[in-house]
Amino acid sequence: MRRPLIAGNWKMHLTPSEGAALATTLRQRIGMRSDVEILLCPSFVALQAVSEVIRGSEMKLGAQNVFWRGSGAFTGQVSPPMLCAVGCEYVILGHSETRGRFGVNDPDLDTSVLPYFSETEATLNRKLCAILPHGLKPILCVGETLAEREAGHTESIIRAQMEGALQGVAGDELYDLAIAYEPVWAIGTGRVCDADEANRVCGFIRQTLRDLYDDELAETVRVLYGGSVKASNAHTLLHQPEIDGALVGGASLNAEEFEQISYCAPKR
């Protein structure tokens, strides 16, 4: 049975002291749960502070990104060994915001600056291959923009994202993989993919794993939904048969809201 995974992506929010305070509250409320896996993904600068708070609890620590080299002259980057050293067990890879695919219109994110967010399937493949030998568990994000959905390209976009990121990776290396379906048009916009449609796309992701690998891996990998998840819609989403958890953005910054979301996950 796939244990539900509820992951909080704090994005570029919370200083180390603020992150430690939120983690302290969450530890008191849900820190010892074993029926659902709880994952906190703060910014790089808050990883150490959050790690110290959740040590000894059932909660896990994850990073929002990683670089594919262990060390070197790569200014501003963070390596897999560095993440392991502060207690990380998971890494988010390929979030739409690191790909330069934003759901929210922002006047500062015009076409002249979007190349700064230059994540591609090739870089994701390097990152995935780099973290696996260190025992870090990838959460691979996939999803389409509104224009791609309206053009009927949802499945082809997601399959291409999966094929590119997983190229050359053997199935026996991927049993700790999670894949998060995050429709770009629903991230931070308040729009939520209809639960039946989210379930259908998550089922497509699982079928793609069968096509690329085998039934055993497809039934083992957890497929999450992300995109404006909150307590008011989590129950409907998390009780879909193909959805094994949630990658929660803004709602994960509120302890009560995140706790409520975690209790929406069914026992499997």
Catalytic residues: 95, 182
CA pair distance 89, 246, nearest whole angstrom: 17
CA pair distance 199, 205, nearest whole angstrom: 10
DSSP annotation of 179: E
**Residue at token pair 């993440």:** 83
Cβ–Cβ < 8 Å for 96, 189: no
Torsion of CA 103, 106, 110, 116, to 10 degrees: -70
Three-state DSSP state, 153: coil
Cβ–Cβ < 8 Å for 234, 260: yes
Element of type H or E holding 85: helix 80-85
Cβ–Cβ < 8 Å for 1, 240: no
Q: Residue 47: which residues within 8 A CB-CB, separation 6 or more? A: 61, 63, 83, 86, 87, 88
Three-state DSSP state, 84: helix
Cβ–Cβ < 8 Å for 33, 6: no
Q: List the one residue out of 105, 81, 94 whose CA is nearest residue 138.
A: 94
Q: For 200-223, give the secondary structure using H, E and C.
A: HHHHHHHHHHHHHCCHHHHHHCEE
